[in-house]
Chains A and B, each alone.
Chain A
Amino acid sequence: MRMTRSIITAAAVALLAAGETQAQNRLNVVASTEDLASIAREVGGDRVNVTALARGYQDPHFVEPKPSFILTVNRADLYVAVGRELEIGWLPPLITSSRNARVQPGAAGYLDASLNVRILEIPTGQITRAMGDVHPLGNPHYWLEPGNGRLIAQAIRNKLGELSPANRSYFGQRYDDFNARLAAAEKRWDAAMAPHTGAKVVTYHRSWPNFMERFRLEVIGYVEPKPGIPPSPSHTLELIEEMKRQGVKFIVVEPYFSLRTPQAIASQIAGGRVLVLAPSVGGAKEVTDYIQLFDYNVNLLAGALKPVTGK
């Protein structure tokens, strides 16, 4: 009897020790979105466990702070946030109730991925909500530019190295590899988009400034009359007129918006077409990592623009 008890105790201790060493080897990384998670996976490789909270086909402004997310954040060694107030409606309560000192803002395990990337549309002067739901710290959809993806990967590499110094060179190698693949892919994307430089499109929400600037497309209007405000009939009519005037055929829509208004607009324009692009990894079934995100969007756009620009 005594023997059995000691065996059980010994087994429990051994299991605990095993659990400990495993936890030491693999860092738990939790990211707000699947884009950041994908980049963290590229850099962290098999030395990290990565979880994303928001799904790629979900509007990242409106994620519900579900208690199951509290559990996820509770176990995190590193939290990677999009920042620029994108998550202001849901992340603060999750972090506060996570009971995890490692990932509180200001702690070593909290990384705001937006801090060293290129942010567009930072308002100058004071803004008011008469402009709609504008982001006072700039447009938070910055990951839709490969250059920024590289900077995010650098920030994650540095942070992971800080949290796990023994694996620093491993993360460095992983980053170099990702960087090389990204650079090669960029050449491919630039080649595909080069013939369509200056082509004009309309987008639903202001999710695409970084993407459009990178691939030299011009956004001439939005389906939303103002950020976060649903389409209104008068604005829709104005937009149709403007599209006709400038000969714009394409409306780029995020998968989480209703297609009704965009389709109604497209039907009023000869050759008008709605393109549902992926704003995030996971935004379409095929898009399972950061490089595929651009593969998918570039293919779709270049394919659609071909008959229009004739190149």
Chain B
Amino acid sequence: MRRVYVLWPVLAAGLLVGAVRPSAAQTVDVEGLRREIEQLRKELETVQQQYGERLAALEARLGAAQGAPAAAPAPQAPQTAEVPPGAPGGGAPAGQLPAYGVATAGSKIFNPDIGIIGNFLGSSGRDRGGSGTVAPTPFMTLQESEASFQAIVDPYARADFFLAIGEEGIEVEEGFATFPALPGGLLVKAGKMRANFGRLNAFHNHTLPWIDRPLVMYNLLGGSVEDPDTGIKDAGVSVSRLIPAGSVFLEATGELYRGDSGTLFKSSRRRDVAALGRVRGYVDLTDQTNVEAGASYTRGHNDLGSDFVTELYGADLTLRWRPLGRAIYRSLAARTELVWSRREEVSAFERAFGLYGSLDYQFARRWFAGGRYDQAERGANASIRDRGFSTVVTYWPSEFSQLRSQYRRTRYGDGDRVANELLFQLLFTIGTHGAHPF
């Protein structure tokens, strides 16, 4: 009780301090007002002058148009755009380019930003039939092109849709609304999403530093041979918040999903939901070097039924280097992610572990090279351990296309089969090219 008494005067004083300050500032400052009026007058004069000039220019133009002899309407020439001076060269078109949809451009103003990323894949070498979790890559395929539709919904929300267009059908890869203006520093997303488990799961295929995903994602995060874009993705709600920690970025995320994701989670009743928690921290070591670490946990019900739970624990670490003054020529990223799986089965728990570690280096404006080691036990049968090693070379003709080649050697744990493959990829973007993920 006494504490309350002590508090009241302090609170009152605090309020007073808050109240007094602005009123002090509002004291009539004649000199200030006079200056302000003077300034307003000056601005008005400028505006008047500008309008006068514009009016004169318009009248002159009108006069010229009226004075010109009335000509027969010219035949409608196709609208064209001039290649900017200095732009031609290097095999580029010169002069006029055809223009599309100019007349109707005004009506598109509220359309979402639309982009499509084509993902053309090729492979050669011996794939040894893949495994129960990794599908063999066809000789050539247009695998999962991604169509994106993004726009601001209203002052409170924005929406992002990503459709995965395979050769045979369309699937909603992600489709969610984000609420960036909520009180309490919360960021809420609702819809179908790639879950925030670890680093890589939230990445789309075309933003990976490799052609494929590492074995640990196929074996432990619910890969199936039908799904090349493997990972945890489900319908649900995500809530995340910043945790104050000075200059360290600390973010906590909680997510709730229906509980259906690939071969990982299966919901047979409405309350068989999947839950996820993640904490990630990030710190700038210098202007050019930074490190990010995260810990993740998720649980859901597996394909054996409502009484059987699968839990995943994850840890990830990313180190990045990019010299700011040469940011477009040099960069380096080292990543590693570890995943432990605990799958409840009829008589016991199946405990499996997997990891990958990778290093990617940009050695010229358009060139990247990298390597990756991966190993993973299979979630449903931990006695089988697959291992792999890859080297990757990437070339960027421009920001909007990318050529990549990857040598991949995989030793499948069942039957000790070794697959040696050479993969090729062409990525090409049309339409809006959104921001790259960090």
Q: Which residues from chain A sit less than 8 Å from chain B, CB to CB?
A: 2, 5-6, 9-10, 13-14, 16-18, 20-21, 24-25, 55, 57-59, 62-68, 70-71, 74, 88-93, 95-101, 104-107, 121, 123-134, 166-170, 172-173, 176, 206, 219-222, 225-230, 232, 234-235, 238-239, 255-258
Q: Are A10 and B180 in contact (CB under 8 A)?
A: no
Given contacts A10-B10, A70-B249, 13 further A-B contacts (CB under 8 A): A2-B2, A18-B17, A20-B14, A24-B18, A65-B438, A67-B251, A74-B242, A123-B81, A129-B400, A130-B97, A169-B36, A228-B398, A234-B91
Query: Of the candidates B89, B186, B325, which one forms a contact with A225 in the assembled complex, judged by CB atoms under 8 Å apart?
Result: B89
Q: Give the chain A neighbours of B290 by CB distance below 8 A.
A: 66, 68
Q: How far is the CA of A215 from the CA of B182 in the complex (A)?
A: 48
- Closest chain-A Cβ to B325's Cβ sits at a distance in Å of 5
Top 10 nearest A-B pairs by Cβ distance?
A: A17-B14, A126-B99, A101-B181, A225-B90, A169-B32, A125-B81, A235-B89, A67-B249, A67-B282, A232-B90
Q: Are B87 and A132 in contact (CB under 8 A)?
A: yes
Query: Of the candidates A67, A105, A128, A129, which one forms a contact with B152 in the assembled complex, judged by CB atoms under 8 Å apart?
Result: A105
Q: Are B181 and A226 in contact (CB under 8 A)?
A: no
- Indicate if B270 sits at the interface (CB-CB under 8 A): no
Q: Give the chain A neighbours of B89 by CB distance below 8 A.
A: 225-226, 232, 234-235, 238-239
Can you give 29 A-B contacts (C-beta < 8 A)?
Answer: A2-B2, A13-B11, A13-B14, A14-B13, A17-B13, A21-B17, A21-B18, A59-B328, A64-B327, A68-B283, A71-B249, A74-B185, A74-B242, A90-B436, A93-B437, A99-B187, A107-B181, A125-B80, A125-B82, A125-B102, A127-B99, A133-B398, A168-B36, A206-B86, A222-B86, A222-B87, A225-B88, A225-B89, A256-B327
**Scoring B residues 57 to 92 as 1 if CB is less than 8 Å from chain A, else 0, what string do you get?**
000000000000000000000011111101111111
Q: Give the chain A neighbours of B29 by CB distance below 8 A.
A: 169
Q: How far is the CA of A221 from the CA of B79 in the complex (A)?
A: 26
Q: How far is the CA of A119 from the CA of B287 in the complex (A)?
A: 32
- Closest chain-B Cβ to A169's Cβ sits at a distance in Å of 4
- Closest chain-B Cβ to A261's Cβ sits at a distance in Å of 11
Q: Give the chain B neighbours of A10 by CB distance below 8 A.
A: 6-7, 10
- Closest chain-A Cβ to B12's Cβ sits at a distance in Å of 10
Q: Are B326 and A256 in contact (CB under 8 A)?
A: yes
- Closest chain-A Cβ to B278's Cβ sits at a distance in Å of 13
- Closest chain-B Cβ to A108's Cβ sits at a distance in Å of 11
Q: Give the chain A neighbours of B326 by CB distance below 8 A.
A: 256, 258
- Indicate if B22 sits at the interface (CB-CB under 8 A): yes
Q: Are A256 and B435 also in contact (CB < 8 A) when A130-B97, A232-B90 are?
A: no
Q: Give the chain B neighbours of A25 by CB distance below 8 A.
A: 21
Q: How far is the CA of A93 from the CA of B92 in the complex (A)?
A: 33
- Closest chain-B Cβ to A58's Cβ sits at a distance in Å of 4
Query: Of the candidates A13, A20, A66, A129, which one forms a contact with B7 in the assembled complex, judged by CB atoms under 8 Å apart?
Result: A13
Q: Are A134 and B3 also in contact (CB < 8 A) when A20-B18, A74-B185 are?
A: no
Q: Give the chain A neighbours of B183 by CB distance below 8 A.
A: 101
Query: Of the candidates B14, B18, B435, which one forms a contact with A92 in the assembled complex, judged by CB atoms under 8 Å apart?
Result: B435
- Indicate if B247 sits at the interface (CB-CB under 8 A): yes
Q: Are B182 and A99 in contact (CB under 8 A)?
A: yes
Q: Are A127 and B81 in contact (CB under 8 A)?
A: yes
Q: Give the chain A neighbours of B90 by CB distance below 8 A.
A: 225-226, 229, 232, 234-235
Q: Are A128 and B97 also in contact (CB < 8 A) when A74-B185, A93-B435, A133-B398 are?
A: yes
Q: Are A126 and B102 in contact (CB under 8 A)?
A: yes
Q: Are A226 and B242 also in contact (CB < 8 A) when A21-B18, A92-B435 are?
A: no
- Closest chain-A Cβ to B14's Cβ sits at a distance in Å of 3
Q: Are A258 and B329 also in contact (CB < 8 A) when A166-B25, A226-B87, A235-B90 are?
A: yes
**Closest chain B residue to A63 by CB distance?**
B327
- Indicate if B39 sits at the interface (CB-CB under 8 A): yes
Query: Of the candidates B13, B15, B81, which one forms a contact with A126 in the assembled complex, judged by CB atoms under 8 Å apart?
Result: B81
- Closest chain-A Cβ to B262's Cβ sits at a distance in Å of 27
Q: Give the chain A neighbours of B21 by CB distance below 8 A.
A: 21, 24-25
- Indicate if B225 sits at the interface (CB-CB under 8 A): no
Q: Give the chain B neighbours of A239 by CB distance below 8 A.
A: 89
Q: Are A58 and B327 in contact (CB under 8 A)?
A: yes
**Closest chain A residue to B325 by CB distance?**
A57
- Closest chain-B Cβ to A128's Cβ sits at a distance in Å of 6
Q: Are A130 and B93 also in contact (CB < 8 A) when A24-B21, A169-B35 are?
A: yes
- Indicate if B101 sits at the interface (CB-CB under 8 A): yes
**Closest chain B residue to A132 by CB distance?**
B87
Q: How far is the CA of A272 from the CA of B131 in the complex (A)?
A: 62
Q: Give the chain A neighbours of B251 by CB distance below 8 A.
A: 67
Q: Give the chain A neighbours of B325 by CB distance below 8 A.
A: 57-58, 255-256
Q: How far is the CA of A93 from the CA of B435 in the complex (A)?
A: 7
**Closest chain A residue to B34 by CB distance?**
A169
- Closest chain-A Cβ to B283's Cβ sits at a distance in Å of 7
Q: Are B36 and A172 in contact (CB under 8 A)?
A: yes
Q: Are B81 and A55 in contact (CB under 8 A)?
A: no
Q: Are A58 and B324 also in contact (CB < 8 A) when A65-B435, A93-B435 are?
A: yes
Q: How far is the CA of A74 from the CA of B186 in the complex (A)?
A: 11
**Closest chain B residue to A61 by CB distance?**
B328
**Closest chain B residue to A70 by CB distance?**
B249
Q: Give the chain A neighbours of B17 by CB distance below 8 A.
A: 17-18, 21
- Indicate if B51 sits at the interface (CB-CB under 8 A): no
Q: Are A6 and B6 in contact (CB under 8 A)?
A: yes
Output the residue of B15, B99, B287 with the most chain A CB within 10 A.
B99
Q: Are B185 and A99 in contact (CB under 8 A)?
A: yes
Q: How far is the CA of A24 from the CA of B15 in the complex (A)?
A: 13
Q: How far is the CA of A239 from the CA of B101 in the complex (A)?
A: 34
Output the residue of A57, A99, A234 with the most chain B CB within 10 A.
A99
Q: Are A99 and B329 in contact (CB under 8 A)?
A: no
**Closest chain A residue to B244 by CB distance?**
A71
- Indicate if B409 sits at the interface (CB-CB under 8 A): no
Query: Of the candidates A66, A99, A131, which one forms a contact with B83 in the assembled complex, judged by CB atoms under 8 Å apart?
Result: A131
Query: Of the candidates A68, A100, A132, A225, which one forms a contact with B282 in the assembled complex, judged by CB atoms under 8 Å apart?
Result: A68
Q: Give the chain A neighbours of B155 by CB distance below 8 A.
A: 104, 106-107
**Closest chain B residue to A237 by CB distance?**
B89
- Closest chain-A Cβ to B337's Cβ sits at a distance in Å of 18
